[in-house]
Amino acid sequence: MAEYKAPLTDMNFLLYQVFNADKMWQQLPQLNEQVDQETAIAILQECAKIAEQKIDPIARQGDEIGVSFSLDSDGRGKVKTAPGYKEAFDTFVEGGWPALGGDVNYGGMGMPKVVSAFMEEMLCSTDISFALYPILTAGAALSLAKHGSEELKQRYLTKLYSGEWSASMCLTEAHAGSDLGIIQTKAVPQADGSYAITGSKIFITGGEHDLTDNIVHLVLAKLPDAPAGPRGISLFLVPKFNVDENENLAERNNVSCGSIEHKMGIHASATCVMNFDGAQGFLIGELNKGLACMFTMMNFERIGVGIQGMSAGERSYQNALEYAKDRRQGKALDASTKAIKQPDSIMVHGDVRRMLLNMKAFNEGSRALSCYIAKQLDYATFGSGELQQKGDQLSALMTPLAKAFFTDLGFESTVAGQQILGGHGYIREWGQEQLVRDARIAQIYEGTNGIQAMDLLMRKVVASKGALMNVFIEEVTDYIESQQENPAMSEFTAPLSAALADLDDISKLLLTKSVEDINEIGAAANDYLHVFGYTAMAFVWAKMAQVSLSQQDSDAKSSQTEYGAEFYQSKLHTARYYFNRLLPRRLSLLATIKSGSESLFAIEDELF
């Protein structure tokens, strides 16, 4: 496998030339006090070093050895991480990375999401298994910071930011996956104000391991008299070890790991069955409002999972590109190299170039779109007035898109990379098959991509009567109009305008058809999400092309550009490829949506 190289130039291009993050930080008082361009550049440079030098070297061993399960002297399950993981995690903690996006009032660094998202990408590109430990902790800390009592935040949040403790989220039960309303874990009130938590949870990432001294579990449970369904769910903090009045570790809580899962991929990530046997827990937020509290974390994680998919795609591209340039097989179809006896590199073959450019366009487009969504989250978190409202609306609309679209494209890119390596991509020696296995779970956990599609179409578009989608459509329309006096941009804005009009039309059509037949939503949801995804990616590709064109103009006048002429030339070539070869995918999706739901639901179950 090729050694990972963090795409810092592309990240800085997006932050400071495409999305003007430094100007946004100056505009928002809370961020202006915490971050500037120089600080953010230094942070990402240091993160790249950790990813490339400390995490990347242990990923292969982590996949081959994985985590191991055994019983301690008290009969409780314990998990040992793969060799090198504890040392790498300690180095990560020493650098202060768990605090990067944390609340400054409890020891966090208060960095914006546009910075922490790029940290997540670098970690996931080197090893998704390793990245899951700190990413889950950051998500739990976010939920605790927003909904927890002051006492809980003082006692637990500071330790999560310091990296001394880690966290998990415990939602799924054997009979209750996506339908959390039917969970059976119970919470019984105690005289001291705590709750006795009893039940079993499955598929718990980082539920048990040897990386930290304590693990803080966020657990969904119901009181005995709670309302039925999702309205009766509450959220509790359940530590592995209880904490005394001096904030030191005390007795072991009645929570234990029953076993670990043996998975297709992410072998070095501990996926646990967690048993709660009257464990002491503490309420987060209000009773029966736990799902709303947990969604603070889940939405954070869903964007993070989208970044996982993109990260796997980036690593696949780096592997495949290095291989394609070195591998010599066959000759070009034209006569330019016929006289040379040696075979050409496989870069001359059209199908290889197609797969490489697909990966390049999807990776860079996904990175840009994730940066755009992260910017909306920063407005929603740190902004006020209209900026905050718009940030809330766009981040809500685009969270399911980020999770599903990025992971679908990321998996496609890992398979494409495997195809380019041919037989070498199928065997373990080259490491490419690990990316395929690791990336596959991202389409499943944190809400399957089908559920994300239903969330987008049913909850965000139909439930708002199109209002949320209109916010996006208006933003892109304004951008297109701003480029009307720039004729060089017409090759990008014309197809973007057509795609946007089609997205608007299909949204209105589905709003109308769903009134008569609600099955239209289920039949169209997945295709609709991808139509939205290709259109949204065209928007950010147009913005990248605009900057690249302007930099080429500057180069013609001054012979200097920020990142070098070749960088911008590559951007423009890739933008043209996206608009010519990838954006048209939406047309077949639109045709499928318009065909309706009848052929999908007409067949009886017995006839399958």
CA-to-CA distance for 441 and 598, rounded, in angstroms? 31
**Look-up of token digits 């909850």:** 459
Residue 85 makes CB contacts below 8 A (sequence gap 6+) with: 58, 62, 130, 211, 268
Would you say 419 and 425 are in contact if contact means Cβ atoms under 8 Å apart? yes
Question: What number of H helices and E strands is found in the chain?
Answer: 21, 11
Residue 405 makes CB contacts below 8 A (sequence gap 6+) with: 306, 366, 529, 530, 532, 533, 537
Task: Take residue 539 and report the two structure tokens written for it.
Answer: 């928007």
Sign of the dihedral through C-alpha 317, 6, 168, 109: negative
Strand locations in 34-164 (E): 68-71, 77-80
List 120, 121, 433, 446, catalytic entry = 446
The strand pairing partners of 80, in sequence order, are 68
Task: Take residue 121 and report the two structure tokens written for it.
Answer: 């990408």
CA-to-CA distance for 215 and 170, rounded, in angstroms? 12
Residue type, 604: E
- CA dihedral of residues 338, 341, 347, 353 (deg, nearest 10): 40
The DSSP annotation for 45-65 comes to HHHHHHIIIIIHHHHHHHHHH
Which run of H or of E encompasses 552?
helix 519-558
CA-to-CA distance for 203 and 561, rounded, in angstroms? 49
Residue 334 makes CB contacts below 8 A (sequence gap 6+) with: none
Would you say 107 and 100 are in contact if contact means Cβ atoms under 8 Å apart? no
Would you say 546 and 493 are in contact if contact means Cβ atoms under 8 Å apart? no
Residue 122 makes CB contacts below 8 A (sequence gap 6+) with: 6, 44, 47, 48, 50, 51, 311
Is 446 a catalytic site residue? yes
CA-to-CA distance for 516 and 470, rounded, in angstroms? 22
CA-to-CA distance for 321 and 318, rounded, in angstroms? 5
Q: Which positions are catalytic?
A: 446
